[in-house]
Each structure stands twice: as structure tokens, then as C-alpha cells.
Chains A and B, each alone.
Chain A
Amino acid sequence: MSFTSLEFIAFMFLVFVLFYITKGKTRVFVLFIANIVFSLTFVSWNIIVLLIFALYSFFISSKIKKDNKSILFIVLPLIIVFIFFKYITYFSNSILTPVGISFYTFKIISYLVDIYNEKIEREESLLVYLTYVIFFPTLVSGPISRFKPFIDSLSNVTFDYDKSRDGAFLCACGMFEKMVIADYIGLLVSNIYANTLFKGYYIWLAILLYSLQIYADFDSYSNIAIGCSKILGIDVGINFKTPYLSSNIKEFWHKWHISLSTWFKDYVYIPLGGNRKGTLRKHINMIIVFILSGIWHGSTINFFIWGLGHGLLIVFEEYFLQFYNKLNIEGILKKINKIIGIIINYLLVSILFVFFRTNKFIDAINILRKSLIFEKFDYTELGLVKREWYYLLIMIVVFIIVDIFRSRFNMIEKITKRNVVFRWSIYIIMMTIFLIFGMYGSQYNPLDFIYKHF
């Protein structure tokens, strides 16, 4: 069941009603059933893998002792099965990776390791634990929520109109972002990537737009997931904090896919020694983390290169920033440098996303090679008419402006706290824009959320 389908909206409304008219264990049971129903809308054996993972981790968690070897042996089977499913597609297309396996495996690992580290206590109720693992808003593509905040909010849920309203508005914004922005840009990007005749400016347009697409796409998914959780009174954390307004790669990774970055930091980088074992070791750890992050996304060499690229950039950047900070630049020049930093950062991230977007190494190289052969640009070559071209440009500008606002304050609260006329005007304007410019209806084949495939 796609987040952007009418079925999901109806399903969510039903869950919302049932969730709040029940209490205590019945409420948890309602949520559990909703999770199962949602899971069953994907390929049926997905739920089997998911339940095996969840049941295994639930029962094995009672065996966890403060012993290095035990946690390794407990987590290892999960990692092996995860690797099997995740990378078997590299060798055989007949086996499909279960939806959300990358996300719930990491959730489970964090749960087990946190018990081992005595950060949390083992959950006694199987129902509650399954509800955490299978929690439908975050099942497919995260955010990778941690057990403690999840369970704390679940056990203290009371109906809060404002919170549910904010959640619903966040969901609506997510759907808008996906169907009006991400999918529209996605069509254009796919068109350029699929046509081998495009070179130079066209390729650069695709490279730069893909970064926007993947951000709008994944951010929209996260907004819907967070919004749905919020409707049910549950906090699952955040995933993005306007990452493209970062002036360096390190800052970018503090703002991009935050739940995954922090997971890698907590469960890989710090256990590897973090920055406690000298600069060289620190840099090696960083590169390891980014390579793992790359191959977490997929089995091809391109994901490895993408991760490695980010790892190397972040190491290089650290040296560069040490030098730059010594210059003590202040005032207007600092602001100009910040803007230049944002642009360079966006360019670097976009270039690395070429490896992310393409399946084969040679495809990525071809795209980069063609990007250097410039020829006259004419938007009609992209199959666009004048009005569509202007619409694209306006959409990008508005998207950037909204992102700048988002970096300064909480837009959702800013809007929902205003008077009823302002609020409803925004709702109706958004709805009208969505109905006219959105990518929906049977004439249009909706694009999957990109991160569904990870």
C-alpha cells in the first residue's frame, strides 16, 4: 500500500479512529493489527521474513549477557540473512528483497545492542515489541526509530488534537512534496538519463535535479511517516534538516537521513573507536562507516563508490576546514563564503549521486563524460513546452525558499498556529495546486518512493 494512495488515507483514518477509541492493551493490539494489515499489502512472504526477524530477536534478547561474544553471535544471524536478501538480487533477479528489511534489521540490531549496553531493558510483552518492529509508518523506509523513545511515547499516548492536526498537515505536505515536486522532477530526470543523445547542459540539469528529486522524494516519505506517527501520538524522530543548505559535507551528513547517520555513528563508528584512537584511525573509521552506508543502500559497485566518495570527501574536508578556520574570515565575506560553500557542497553531493542513480559503473562514467561535452541548450528538446519549463523553474525557486524557511523555523507549527482563515487558505491553495499539478490518476504511472528499494 503506497503512502500516496487513497487506500492509505482511508486506512490511516480508520486506524486513527480505532486507535483513539480504545485504550491500554487493546490500543496496542489495534496498532499491531494495523501493522500486520499494512505489511500484508506487500508481497505476502515479506511478513514471514519480518516476523521471523522479530520473533528471533524477541526471544534471543533474553539471552543477552554483558559479554562481547554473545552480542556478536546474537546479531550475526540477522546480519547474514539481511545480507543474503539484500545482495542476492545482485546474482539472481528472481528473489526480491523484502520491503523494509534494511530498516527493520537496523531497528532490531539497535534494540539488541541497546539491551546489551544496558541502555534499555528488555521488553517483556511480545505484542508491544512486535508493534515497535512492524510499526507501519516507518516499516518501509524509516526513520529508523529507537526503542526507548518509541515505547515511551506509545505508553503515554493521549489524544492531543493539536498534535494530530500537525501530524495530518505534515502528511499532507509530504504527499504534496512527493506528487507535485519529486515525481515531476523525476520524470524529467528519467527522460534525460534514459536518452543517450543528451549531453552537456542537459546532463547537468539531470544531475542537479536528481539531487532535488531524491531529497523531495525521501523527505516526503519521511514527512508522511513522521506525520502518521504524530497523528497516533508517537514520536519517531526526524530524518532531514534542510541538508542542501549545508556548506560542507560533514554538516550535510548531520542533516541528511539523520536516523541512518546516527545509527551508523552509534553502532559502527563509536564501537570502532570513533575519534578516540587518533586521527588516522578516526579517518579510517569514517571511511568504513561511509562505505558501509553505501553498501547498505544496494549491492552494486556504484553504491560502494558513492559511500567511499563521501568518506574521502569528509576526510579531505576536515583538513581543508582546519586550514580555512585559521583564516578567521568574518562579516560579509563569511556569508559569501557560506553561500559558495553551499553551492560547492550541492555540486559535490550531486556528482556523487550520479553513482547512486545509475546501476552500473560504466553508466555513471558515461554520464560524467557526457556532462563535459557542451552543446546548445533548448528546453523543448526535453519534451517541455514554455509553460512547463517556467513551471519547473518556479517550482525549484519556491522549493529553495521553503527550505530556507524550514531551516529557520518549524513551518508546520508556524502555519497551524495562525488563524483559521490563513490556515484554511493555505490548505485550499495547496489542494488546488496538488489537483492541477500533481502526478496522480491512472494516466500517470506513479513513481515508487526511491528509498522503498533500499
Chain B
Amino acid sequence: MIKVFLKTSIMLGITLGLSLYLSKAFSPVSSNLKTAYLSVPEDTLDLVVLGSSHTQYGINPAVIHNETGLYSYINASACQPIRVSYQMLKESLKTQNPNLIILDVFTMLPDQSVCYDESIYKLASDEMTGMEKINTLMMLDDKKKAFDYILSIRMYHQLWNELDIESLKISNEDLPYDSFGFINLQPKEYLFKYMEGPDKKYRYDLNQSDLDNLLKIKALCDENNIELLLVKTPFDMNQKNYDALMAVWDFAKENDIDYLDLNQYLEEMDFAFGVDSETWHNTNWGAYKNSEIISEYLLKNYKFNHVDNEDVNRNLSYLKKSTLFGLLLNQVDPYNFFKYASKFDGIIIIKYNGYYKTSIESAENALLNEMGFEYDFINNRNTNYYGVSVNGKLKGYDNKEFKTIINGNEIIVNKNEIIIDGKVLKDTDGELTVVVYDSDFYWHQNMNIDYGSKWFWKNDCDGWVCK
């Protein structure tokens, strides 16, 4: 009998080993690689954000870094239930020792039912390893599917007719982590809809399992000396969800858990549904506003043991580039354009044709200064200014024509045009033109302002009708 047990065990071991190898070999390349989160250098993150897709779209680590210098990562997944967040927290602590965990509470609200699908466990488990992955998959009602996801050869073996010998080699490469879990959603419509707040609060019974898991998350954070902050990013809330959210905050207060409800800051942020958010997900523009508020809250309320890391900085610079591109794309507000251009690294070209009637005011002047153009545009309104700044530092300027070479690209700015490597840029004929390039000269965005029309947008006019 011992022989039987021994041989059965060997056979099971071989089968398991073979299955694991083939699972790796047959899985699509991306799932073969180390998860992006695990690719972040160990013990570098200051805060980790868990929760639903609301945080993936609503909190931008690039902005948090700009505002606070902290490293953050959005380790969230679509509709991530609180019990899955608990597993994700355990997964997150395997390689990182953050000072703060931010947890989004969307899946404690009634509207989480709209996104319920078994795939949410699969999606979350894709970002996990070991027992946390297994625990998450075992939450699936269909245990056979769970088994398939654990030993993915069960799912992917039918791909044998597409594979070649090369694909049977297992890659140990890291998955790039340059998005830091953030998903960049551009506004699809440029409407400004301000949401009206719900009426009043009434009692709402939260799901007991969610509350239990929330307490487990709190306990695990306490055990590891990590602060916990609950957040809710803005979304188009109805009364029922509002009441549920209030119940979450009541529960948080009772259990000494800190929380930050960004829905309470809508006015302060000038948060407009349409440009800043779709029904569920915030756009890149909205995420910027959220992240600014969060950053401010973090600096006021928490202490971090931040250590700079070159690799993380390098990866953050990719996210910053894409963030800036998204923020400037179709940007209609010149103040925001100037503000975002001043916040992120890049190459800024300015073409200002002086005119005595030009009405540059102190706010614009300050923003231009922050972009690196240390110049008094108010008192020198008559004088032309053609200059270039790189990463917020002035490269040079002239009032007739300015020429420079940056990263091998020749830039010429004069009264009539901006020329890059011999090519005249289109659409640069404003009295004040600001062009923003990324450091690789891969993309650019520009804004033209004619001060004759400034009066109209300053007075919030729609055509000739002004407020």
C-alpha cells in the first residue's frame, strides 16, 4: 500500500509539474510575464490603491508624484469586491511595504450589482500570485472554471495548433509597470454638467460580508503598521448609492477608519460630468482633479518614509508624458492648458507678439513664469517674446527670433511662425501661442490666444450672450 501511495504521489507530482509548465508555455505572452505590480522595485511604493475600476480611472500616480513626490500604484481591478481587495492587499504586501493603503468603496454600494460578472475574479486574479490567486479564483461559483484559471493549460491547450516551438519557451521578463495601474480615459464629449447633490440621508444596510472584509483589511493594515484610507471617487450617484456611501462613512467612523469622499469636493474641484467623468469612470481630466485633492489630503494627514528610486522615476516619466498628452489634447481652457504644461516636464515653445492692448493678467503671467518663462509679460506687453523652456527651465528667448537645438531638433520661433526641423508648425497664428512638446518630440499640442476674444471667454459668453 505504501508503494501505491508513493507512486501515486510521484505521478501526481509529475502531472502537476507538467501542467504548470504547459500552463506557462500555452498561456498568452502577457499572462506569462511577472505582473506589472511585481515588477515595481521592492519596498519603493509609499501608497497602494486598491478597489474597483473607479480608482484605475480616477487616481493618477503621476499627478500624486508631481504634487507630493510620493510613489503610488493603483492595484485595482474591475468591480473588485471588498473580499477580493483583502486578497489584493495581501498580494500587494508581498513586495511592498507602503505607509498607506487607499481603498475604494464602490463595491460596497448598491450600484456594484450592474457590473457583477464572474470575470471580475479572473481579472483580479491575473494580478495575483500564489495562494491569493487561488483564494480569489475559489470565489467563483463555477469551481471548474476556477480550476481552469489556476491550471491554465486546461483553458489554453486548444491553442496547440497556433503555437510554435519558440512559444514553448517560458519568458521570465518583467511586465512594464509604466502605467502604475492608471487607465487614461479621454473625454468623449465636451459638455460641462454639474451634478446636483442628493437630498438627504436615510438608513441603508450594508452587506455584512463587505463589512467583515473591510475590518479584515483594517486589521491587516494595523498588523503591518499601515494607515488605511477609504475613498470614493466622483461618479453619477443616485440617492440610494449616496445613502449607502453615507452608511460606509458611518461605519468607518465607528471603526476609526479614515475616509475621503471626493464627491464632497465637486464644487471645489470644478468637477464637471461630461469632461471629467463618464457615468462610472473619471476621465484623465477628472483624475487630475481627484489626485490633486488626494495629494493635498495626504500631505496634511499622513507621514511617509519616501526614498527616491531611479527605476520608478523613469517609469513615472512615461506616465507623466502620457498624462500630459491626455490633459492637453482638446483642452479648451487656456488656464488649464498653461497649468498642466507647467506641472509636467516637456519642451514648451512660446510665441508672443507684443501689443499695447493685450491684456495679460497676473494669473496668466504667473503660469507662464511657472512654465519657465521668467518674464514680466504685464509690464512688457508691447514687446515680442519668442522663447523655449525645457522641463520648466528657460532655454532662452529673444524679441526678434529665437533659435535653438534640443535633442538634435532645431527650433526657430519668430513673429510669423514656429519651425521645427525645417517644418512650419500649423495653427500657430495667435497673439500668444504656446506649443508643448514631449521630450522625444513624438507629439505636440498647442494653444492660440487672441486677446481680442479674451473678453468673451472671461465673461463666460456663449456667442454674444454673456453672463
Q: Which positions in A face B, CB cutoff 8 Å?
A: 6, 13, 16-17, 20-21, 159, 161, 164-165, 385, 387-388, 391, 427-428, 431-432, 435-438, 440-444
5 A–B contacts from the bound complex (CB under 8 Å): A13-B8, A164-B4, A391-B161, A441-B148, A442-B154
Selected from B11, B18, B154, B161, the residue in CB contact (under 8 A) with A388 is B161
B1 partner, pick from A20, A388, A431, A444, beta carbons under 8 A: A20
Known: A435-B18, A435-B22, A442-B145. A427 touches B158 (CB 8 A): no
B160 at the interface (CB under 8 A from A): yes
Other 8 A-B pairs with CB < 8 A, given A435-B153, A440-B157, A442-B147: A17-B1, A161-B3, A432-B18, A435-B19, A437-B160, A442-B144, A442-B148, A443-B158
0/1 string, B148-165, CB within 8 A of A gives 1? 100001110110110000
Whether A443 and B148, one on each chain, are in contact in the complex, defined by CB atoms closer than 8 angstroms, is yes
Q: Is the CB of A428 within 8 A of B154?
A: no
Is B15 part of the binding interface, using a Cβ–Cβ cutoff of 8 Å? yes
Q: Which residues of B contact A (CB under 8 A)?
A: 1, 3-4, 7-8, 11, 14-15, 18-19, 22, 26, 142, 144-145, 147-148, 153-155, 157-158, 160-161
Q: Tell me the smallest distance from the CB of B358 to a CB of chain A, in Å.
A: 67
B15: nearest chain-A partner, CB-CB? A431
Q: How far is the CA of A164 from the CA of B4 in the complex (A)?
A: 9
The CA of A164 and the CA of B14, in the complex, are separated in Å by 20
Residue contact B161 to A440, C-beta cutoff 8 Å:
no
Contact A431 B14 (CB under 8 A): yes
Chain B residue at minimal CB-CB distance from A428: B14
Task: Find chain A residues with CB under 8 A from B148 CB.
Answer: 441-443
CA gap between A442 and B11 in the complex, in Å: 23
Within 8 Å by CB of A437, from B11, B15, B157, lies B157
Task: Tell me how far the C-beta of A207 lies from the nearest C-beta in chain B, rounded to whole angstroms.
Answer: 25
**When the two chains form their complex, are residues B142 and A442 in contact, meaning their CB atoms are under 8 A apart?**
yes
- Residues of chain A lying within 8 A (CB to CB) of residue B153: 435-436
Measured in the bound complex, the distance between the Cα atoms of B1 and A13 in whole Å is 12
Shortest distance between the CB of A110 and any CB in chain B (Å): 34
Residues of B within 8 A of A428 (CB): 14, 18
Chain B residue nearest to A6 (CB atoms) is B147
Q: In the bound complex, what is the Cα–Cα distance between A443 and B155 (angstroms)? A: 6
Q: A437 CA to B157 CA in the complex, in Å?
A: 7
A159 to B3, CA, bound (A): 12
Given contact pairs A161-B3, A432-B18, A435-B19, A442 touches B157 in the complex (Cβ within 8 A): no
Q: Which residues of chain A are near B161, meaning CB under 8 Å?
A: 385, 387-388, 391
**Chain A residue, CB-CB nearest to B1:** A20
B-side contacts of A17, CB under 8 Å: 1
Q: Which residue of A lies closest to B152 (CB)?
A: A441
Query: Which residues of B lie under 8 Å from residue A435 when comparing CB positions?
Result: 18-19, 22, 153, 157
**Interface pair A441/B157, CB less than 8 Å apart:** yes
- Are A436 and B22 within 8 A (Cβ)? yes
Residue of B whose beta carbon sits closest to that of A440? B154
Min Cβ gap B273→A in Å is 40
Q: Smallest CB–CB gap between A363 and chain B, Å?
A: 30
Q: Report how far A387 CA is from B19 CA in the complex, Å.
A: 23
Q: Complex formed: what's the CA distance from A164 to B8 in Å? A: 12
A427 touches B11 (CB 8 A): yes
A391–B202 Cα distance when bound, in Å, is: 66
Closest Cβ neighbor of A432 among chain B residues: B18
* A388 CB contacts on chain B under 8 angstroms: 161
Within the complex, the shortest CB–CB distance from B291 to chain A, in Å, comes to 40
Q: Which of A159, A164, A444 contacts B158 (CB 8 A)?
A: A444
What is the chain B residue whose CB lies nearest that of A5?
A: B144
Bound CA span A159–B1, Å = 9
**3 closest residue pairs by CB, A with B:** A441-B154, A387-B161, A442-B144
Q: How far is the CB of B187 from chain A (nearest CB, A)?
A: 38
Query: Least Cβ distance of B292 to chain A in Å?
Result: 45
Residue of B nearest to A21 (CB): B1
How many whole Å from A182's CB to the nearest CB in chain B? 17
Instruction: Point out the residues of chain B lying under 8 angstroms from A165, CB to CB.
Output: 7
The CA of A66 and the CA of B254, in the complex, are separated in Å by: 87
User: Quick one: which of A6, A385, A442, A443 has the most chain B CB within 10 A?
Assistant: A442
A387 and chain B: residue at smallest CB distance: B161
Bound complex: CA A387 to CA B155 (Å): 19
In the complex, which residue of chain B has the Cβ closest to the Cβ of A386? B161
Cβ–Cβ < 8 Å partners of A391 in chain B: 161
Central interface residue in B8, B142, B158, by most chain A CB within 10 Å = B158
Q: With A20-B1, A387-B161, A442-B144 as known contacts, state yes or no: A431 contacts B155, CB within 8 Å.
A: no
State A440–B160 Cα separation when bound (angstroms). 14
A119 to B334 alpha-carbon distance, docked (Å):
103
B210 to chain A, nearest CB (A): 28
Per the bound structure, the CA–CA distance linking A51 and B259 in Å amounts to: 64
Contact B155–A442 (Cβ < 8 Å)? yes
In the assembled complex, the CB of B152 is this many whole angstroms from the nearest CB of chain A, namely 9
Provide the bound-state CA to CA distance between A441 and B153, in Å.
9
A20, A435, A437: residue with the most chain B Cβ atoms closer than 10 Å: A435
Residues of A within 8 A of B1 (CB): 17, 20-21, 159
Cross-chain contact A441 with B18 (CB below 8 angstroms): no
Decide: A436 near B160, CB < 8 A? Known: A161-B3, A442-B148, A443-B148. Answer: yes
Cα–Cα, bound, A21→B1 (Å) = 9
